[in-house]
Amino acid sequence: NEAFKYGDYRLAEDLYTRGLLKYDQSHVLFTNRAQARIRQDKFQDAVDDCKEALKLKQDNIKTIVIIVKALRGMKDFQKALDMLEIAEKIPDVNMNIVQQNRKEVISKMKQNLLRKV
């Protein structure tokens, strides 16, 4: 976590990968590595990590928020919105988090559409 905190995302990714070699059932390590990968524009790798994390802990809103960011980075806005619909079904989810992320996805989608015009 220190490498990530100091902005060394490549090192953070490497350290999380090493951790996963020992603890491959840690949704936290997959989620943290996904964040490091997003910071390096490795969006598909981040999505893959989040999918693994969600297999281990399906109702983790943090992981869903991170996969939404990765999908947004890939400009796959519909899948990002679909993930937020899944998040809404998590018991006791903080709907403010879901709504804020939905606004961000829609905003990026509009910006992307305007660039194409």
State pLDDT tens for residues 59-117.
999 999 999 999 999 999 999 999 999 999 999 999 999 999 999 999 999 999 998 77
pLDDT, one tens digit per residue, over 9-23 is: 999 999 999 999 999
Question: In three state form, how does the secondary structure of 13-72 look?
Answer: HHHHHHHHHHCCCCHHHHHHHHHHHHCCCCHHHHHHHHHHHHHHCCCCHHHHHHHHHHHH
> Residue 57: its pLDDT value, please?
96
State both tokens at 54: 């969600």
**Model pTM score:** 0.93
Measured torsion, CA atoms of residues 12, 17, 22, 27, in degrees rounded to the nearest 10? 90
pLDDT, one tens digit per residue, over 33-50 is: 999 999 999 999 999 999
Q: What is the CA radius of gyration of the chain?
A: 15
> Residue 116: its pLDDT value, please?
79
Q: Which is nearest to 35 in space by CA: 22, 20, 21, 50?
A: 50
Polymer length in residues for the chain: 117
Q: CB–CB of 4/12 below 8 Å? A: yes
> How sure is the predictor about 24, in pLDDT bands with cuts at 50, 70 and 90?
very high
